[in-house]
């Protein structure tokens, strides 16, 4: 097998990363330097949190892609896609955004409690627990059933709903007015799911073996120049599309944001995709 050392993706595709880093620098100025508006409502709190989360995801995706870890970047891109769907659900019905934001916030508290409960029960099962803390969590569990009753599940396999809105990701994609939601779902839950589930695709993505050392070298060159570039651009372009929509939907909490910037970035990526193909 070849142990060939090659340039990083950032070095091989400078124009691609110049564009993604232009996006990062602009959002850094709007979010990190100037900072979003101070939230005054539950909806504002959620919008600020979502736009910060989206920006952090995008930076992480960019860093992974730049160092030839497109498989891991693809996993994070699916998180960006789900973030768009959640945001769209909050904003779906005019006049109900504040109530939905409140439900979103409340579900986050339930998830934090369930995570804490799981960790404490794990230590209890290993015999390394704090008895007082274990009893306290059991008491809180009884209260949780009342406090979070709207999230109780009627299905046998789980006591709690999987989603704050009670809908599957596919259902959200179906209900969207955006005609690209379902095609993006197919990519996110077929290709990107294969990456997150550690199937053969991500595990074997770097394993190129020919019948001879020369053939292995030639196969590796083809793999690096074609598959890697294609997958990298797919992941980055989708992550950028979803990021732009999130920023647009959260514009009320980003004082310096200019909606025309979305078109500038979209045009840059469109040109890149045509050029790199």
Asked if pLDDT for residue 194 goes beyond 90, the answer is no
What's residue 130's pLDDT? 73
What's residue 198's pLDDT? 66
Nearest to 51 by CA among 37, 65, 71: 37
* Lowest pLDDT segment from 114-118, 131-135, 163-167, 221-225: 221-225
* Lowest pLDDT segment from 141-155, 191-205, 259-273: 191-205
For the stretch 250-271, pLDDT in tens is 999 999 999 999 999 999 988 8
Asked if pLDDT for residue 215 goes beyond 80, the answer is no
Give dist(CA 139, CA 141) in Å, integer: 5
Beta-carbon contacts of 213 under 8 Å, excluding residues fewer than 6 positions away, are: 2
* Lowest pLDDT segment from 83-92, 170-179, 188-197: 188-197
Q: pLDDT-derived band of residue 210, with 50, 70 and 90 as boundaries?
A: low
Give dist(CA 41, CA 101) in Å, integer: 9
Q: pLDDT-derived band of residue 233, with 50, 70 and 90 as boundaries?
A: very high
Q: Are 30 and 254 in contact (CB under 8 A)?
A: yes
Q: How far is CA 43 from the centre of its chain?
A: 20
Beta-carbon contacts of 276 under 8 Å, excluding residues fewer than 6 positions away, are: 13, 15, 16, 229, 233
More confident residue, 179 or 206: 179
Query: What mean pLDDT is predicted for residues 193-197?
Result: 69
For the stretch 88-146, pLDDT in tens is 999 999 999 999 999 999 999 999 999 988 888 888 888 777 778 878 888 888 889 89
What's residue 232's pLDDT? 92
What's residue 169's pLDDT? 94
Asked if pLDDT for residue 27 goes beyond 90, the answer is yes
What's residue 220's pLDDT? 60
Beta-carbon contacts of 255 under 8 Å, excluding residues fewer than 6 positions away, are: 34, 36, 37
More confident residue, 144 or 43: 43
Asked if pLDDT for residue 180 goes beyond 90, the answer is yes
């Amino acid at each position: 097998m070849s142990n060939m050392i090659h340039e990083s993706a950032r070095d091989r595709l400078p124009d691609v990363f110049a564009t993604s880093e232009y996006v990062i620098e602009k959002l850094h100025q709007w979010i990190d330097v100037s900072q979003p508006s101070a939230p005054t409502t539950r909806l504002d709190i959620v919008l600020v949190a979502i736009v910060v989360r989206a920006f952090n995801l995008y930076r992480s995706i960019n860093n992974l892609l730049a160092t030839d870890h497109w498989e891991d970047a693809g996993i994070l891109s699916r998180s960006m896609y789900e973030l768009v769907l959640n945001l769209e659900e909050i904003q779906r019905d005019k006049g109900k955004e504040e109530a939905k934001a409140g439900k979103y916030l409340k579900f986050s508290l339930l998830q934090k409690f369930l995570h804490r409960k799981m960790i404490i029960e794990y230590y209890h099962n290993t015999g390394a627990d704090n008895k007082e803390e274990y009893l306290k969590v059991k008491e809180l569990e009884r209260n949780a059933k009342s406090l979070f009753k709207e999230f109780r599940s009627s299905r046998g396999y789980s006591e709690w709903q999987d989603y704050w809105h009670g809908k599957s990701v596919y259902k959200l994609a179906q209900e969207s007015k955006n005609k690209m939601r379902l095609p993006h779902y197919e990519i996110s839950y077929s290709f990107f799911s294969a990456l997150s589930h550690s199937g053969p695709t991500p595990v074997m993505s770097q394993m190129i073996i020919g019948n001879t050392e020369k053939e292995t070298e030639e196969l590796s060159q083809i793999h690096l120049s074609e598959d890697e570039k294609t997958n990298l651009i797919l992941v980055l372009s989708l992550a950028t599309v979803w990021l732009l929509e999130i920023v647009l939907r959260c514009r009320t909490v980003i004082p310096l944001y200019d909606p025309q910037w979305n078109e500038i970035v979209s045009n840059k990526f469109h040109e890149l995709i045509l050029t790199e193909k």
